[in-house]
Amino acid sequence: MPELPEVETVRRVLETELTGRTITEIVVRTPTFYRPPPRAALTGLIGKTVTGFSRRGKFLSLLAGERSLVLHLGMSGRLTLTDRPAGNRSVKHCRFEIGFGGKTLRFVDPRRFGRVGGPLPKFGPEPLDPAFTPDFLKAAFQGRKAAIKALLMDQGVLAGLGNIYATEALFRAGIRPSRPAGRLRRAELESLHEAIRFVIREGIRLRGSTLDDEAFLDPYGKPGGFQNRVCIYGRREGACGHSLAKTKRPIASRSAVYCPVCQK
């Protein structure tokens, strides 16, 4: 599932390729979105010029003057740029296309967990914002008994982290994913803060992670590179050389991988 670095990679490509272009047509391809497609929100964009793309957490917004369109890639959604005109019916799982007179942006979403339109939910700070500090983590975790990994993936606490980057940050900080968040010591909060910023920055620098069968690709169809830097996610042996373990109890509905030697 695309997380902050993958969505930021998409945002940068779209901002470069589409800013200043005028939306010439919208083709909504299926009437069966996971949530119904806001046709008015889409068709109202025709004739408008793109002023940029913004990102908050894992949400992307196409900006066109005072209008905007919120997009969420869900589990396996992909935004693809093509030079072919909109309306090619042979593209599978295509939910909508936005034509820019010569360029087309396609939203392909096989599992239909993607989201189009609607307001943005409430988010915690962005990991690379100055508002995100060890003190912020201390306050956010105060008295919380929930597993640290669950809170890191809670978008209302901190924006943008999912399974991959939370798993990697906890490994780098030497903290087990099942630890009650409120019990972390000051030094651990500082390590965790640094580790989160490191993995997010690396993820963006390497243009995201391409793992799993629903592998992420950027709008040009190119894979990311962070998968070559993961220390434990999707591995049996950690980069530390130890055999990895999984939590018996699920955290955020799945068992969490960790190194029983390096993570306390």
> What single DSSP character describes residue 88?
-
Query: Is there a catalytic annotation at residue 145?
Result: no
Closest contact distance (angstroms) between CB of 117 and Zn ion is 44
Closest contact distance (angstroms) between CB of 240 and Zn ion is 3
Q: Which CB sits closer to Zn ion, 72 or 176?
A: 176
Closest contact distance (angstroms) between CB of 48 and Zn ion is 52
User: Distance (Å, rounded) from C-alpha 189 to C-alpha 169?
Assistant: 11
Q: Which CB sits closer to Zn ion, 21 or 242?
A: 242
Q: Which of 29, 58, 95, 106 is catalytic?
A: 58
Q: Which CB sits closer to Zn ion, 140 or 244?
A: 244
Query: Is there a catalytic annotation at residue 236?
Result: no
Q: Which CB sits closer to Zn ion, 94 or 262?
A: 262
Q: Which of 3, 126, 168, 188 is catalytic?
A: 3
Q: Which of 2, 5, 127, 177 is catalytic?
A: 2
SS3 of residue 50 by DSSP: coil
Using CB under 5 A, list all residues that contact Zn ion.
Answer: 238, 240, 242, 259, 261-262
Closest contact distance (angstroms) between CB of 172 and Zn ion is 11
> What single DSSP character describes residue 51?
-
CB 169 within 8 A of CB 132: no
> What single DSSP character describes residue 187?
H
Query: Is there a catalytic annotation at residue 58?
Result: yes
Q: Kindly give, in sequence order, each residue whose CB lies less than 8 Å from that of residue 229, ignoring residues fewer than 6 positions away.
A: 202, 206
Q: Which of 84, 111, 183, 254 is catalytic?
A: 254
Query: Is there a catalytic annotation at residue 249?
Result: no
Instruction: List strand residue ranges (DSSP E) for 9-162, in order.
Output: 25-28, 52-56, 59-64, 67-72, 78-82, 94-99, 104-108, 115-116
User: Distance (Å, rounded) from C-alpha 81 to C-alpha 104?
Assistant: 6
Q: Hey, which residues are catalytic here?
A: 2-3, 58, 254
